[in-house]
A and B are shown apart, each in its own frame.
Chain A
């Protein structure tokens, strides 16, 4: 047998129904915001970061070519019959090659992080799926139940003989 309803304030239930609706909206919005941020980050990793590093590789490659030319030009010079050491030019050439290598490595690094971030986003999505289901079905169903409960309680109170019942 069901126990009878024990409600001392219908307004309190109405207020809770309203709070539940607010929760549904706010929590859904926060999940959308989190999803957008995650997608944006992945977009940056999949497109912006590789494009940036490809452009850097090209720039670095040009710089290596320029410093190599400068080094060769220096080495062809003779000063008072001697070949200059061209230490500055040599160091600039080596630095340019180092920078090119770093930029090339970054392309591989980005590729690695794309995979890692995809896995983490999948993990996140899997974990919040239950909350999403709650917000999509359980919460609206409960809101409807609260509304029907409030309606039933209102109808009960409106009965002419309700006040006489113990």
Chain B
């Protein structure tokens, strides 16, 4: 029994970011001006930072839930 599956959500989040970064790499080949640089600095890098900083806390929560289940589960 698992009381929670955080791995699937974390993987979905990572995949979503990977796809976005691939799409941006493609777009950058055809778009290089002030707007594209702004977009990269003001949106894409912060998003990547937010997603990256979410992973440790997701893993931490997942580990705590596994331990909680182990300690509080049935005989």
Contacts and interface: CB of A to CB of B under 8 A. Distances in A.
A138 to B, nearest CB: 6
B1 to A, nearest CB: 9
A4 interface: yes
B43 A142 contact: yes
A31 B13 contact: yes
A23 interface: yes
B72 A5 contact: no
Contacts of A52: 74
A41 interface: yes
Interface residues of A, number: 54
Interface residues of B, number: 49
Contacts of B58: 34, 124
Contacts of B31: 6-9, 12-13, 16
Nearest to A9: B30
Given A26-B16, A131-B51, A3 B68 contact: no
B72 A23 contact: no
B3 A16 contact: no
A34 B9 contact: yes
A159 interface: no
Contacts of B57: 123-124, 127-128
Interface in B13-43: 13, 15-17, 19-20, 22-24, 26-27, 29-35, 39, 42-43
Interface in A1-40: 2-9, 11-13, 15-16, 19-20, 22-23, 26-27, 29-31, 33-34, 37-38, 40
Given A19-B23, A142-B39, A37 B17 contact: no
Contacts of A3: 33-34
A26 B22 CA distance: 15
B23 A131 contact: no
Q: What 5 A-B pairs come out closest when comparing CB atoms?
A: A19-B23, A9-B30, A16-B27, A12-B30, A30-B12
Given A4-B33, A9-B31, A139-B47, 5 more contacts: A16-B23, A26-B16, A27-B13, A30-B10, A33-B12
